[in-house]
Amino acid sequence: MADQGVAGHAVGRYLVFDEIAAGGMASVHFGRMTGAAGFARTVAIKRLHAQFAKEPEFLSMFIDEARLASRIAHPNVVSTIDIVDDHGEMLLVMDYVFGASLSHLCQRVRARGEAVPFGIAVSVMVGALYGLQAAHEARSDAGEPLGVVHRDVSPQNILVGMDGVARMVDFGIGKALGRLQTTREGQVKGKSAYMAPEQIRGLAVDCRTDVYAASVVLWEALTGARLFACEHPLATINAVFEKVVPLASEVRPSVPAEVAAIVARGLARDPDERFPTARAMAMALESAVHPASTREVGDWVKAEAAEILARRSQRAAEIESSSGMGLVAAAAASAIGLPVVAEGDVLTDASHISDVKPRRRWGGVLALGGTVLVLASLAAVWAVVPRATVAPPPLALPASSAIPSASVGAEPAPPPEPAPPPAISTADAAATASPRGAGPSAPHGKPVLRPPPAAPRCDPPYSLDPDGTRHWKSGC
């Protein structure tokens, strides 16, 4: 399955994009889960390497264990969403965590000769332990214990998000991988530096096996050093059985003695001397010191992984803005000069169009349909938006016809009695005469409409001036 860059590669309801990280067993990719009504969600897709995907025995065990892992629902566990078999290639679909692995974070501080601040280290491991406890307590639909043991607790499998929450990942894979390596090669390889002695011997494992591995991870985070890592795998295995493990406080004096003692108990070679459950160890750590808050852990992650987080955030934004209808809407809006459209937390514009490779089967239909919908919506909006035209000037009314304002709830005033028109002389009538329909100009050059003059009173048909001269009234 070749990666398709921004356009992605369709596998069922998923689009698989470029690689986020790679390990000895699988590579992790950005993915988009699509659904009806334009639903889309960013996910992480783990793609098994070819040598594992071609092993029928491993695939069978892997699927069985992944199904069990999908039953674990807890804030400190990365949920398994789906398993996809794409022509012999196995894909594991998981929640996407915006953060970094504890391995990456520890490498950063170790390169400076430092260690993880003990409050943050304790907070991260307490969260991981509670996630392990949720897995150990998982039950079937019938209420029977599933007996889930992670078997591969390591810094690589603890993700710390920008929200300050630690999450365990890859439940079930450790068991399938370990059984394949044992049956095919006759020996145990992999992350032997974190394996409990009973696991290396091939004996029965239980929740205390995960407690041991978690204790190794915490010891290394607190001290800034590796505990059992050696250049040769056999030397590492010998160290697990024979090395005298110093207290974390002896290697790093800033580590509280109570925390160092808890870690030492978790590292006991005899399972009966360890904490009986992951929850018991988490509660002991919480009682010994005050773990850092999620805000403090999140700020630390942002500071230590700023570069990788910025790069992944930009890539995720490109994928989200260029997949689905968001790109079509942004292209249409840009073409007609509208502002860019917000899709989720990402502002999309037409700058991604040249990078997109639409899917051959239905990408063209989707793009055409999306464009039609966008243009139809814009037409509907255009129809109801008032036009920016010049409004006609207001019609001026005579003062006598103005409507008086009244306060709400007041009784309307009765209309005034009409007064009789005053008598006017012929000279006055001539002086005030105007063309029919015309009157004095109102603002904007429009005439003011006045009512026609009242008929003259013709009884008597004349008027007298002071010297007794009669003046006949016009119209009588």
List the catalytic residues: 152
Neighbours of 322 (CB within 10 A): 24
| Secondary structure (DSSP) of 90-110 | EEEEEE--SEEEHHHHHHHHH
How far is the C-alpha of 156 from the C-alpha of 269, rounded, in Å? Answer: 23
* E-state strands within 154-217: 158-161, 166-168
Give me the sign of the Cα torsion angle 309, 315, 317, 323. negative
Residue indicated by tokens 């110093």:
246
| Secondary structure (DSSP) of 323-363 | STHHHHHHHHHHHTTPPPEEETTEEE-GGGGGG----TTTH
Please state whether the peptide bond connecting residue 460 to the residue before it is cis, i.e. omega within 30 degrees of 0: yes
Joined together, the tokens standing for residue 1 give: 């399955």
Q: Write the single-letter amino acid at 83.
A: I
Decide if 262 contacts 278 (C-beta within 8 A). Answer: no
Joined together, the tokens standing for residue 335 give: 């073409």
Q: What angle do CA 64, 67, 69 make, to 5 degrees?
A: 115
Joined together, the tokens standing for residue 176 give: 């399938």
How far is the C-alpha of 45 from the C-alpha of 54, rounded, in Å? Answer: 18
Cα 466 to Cα 21, 265, 470: the distances in Å are 115, 131, 10
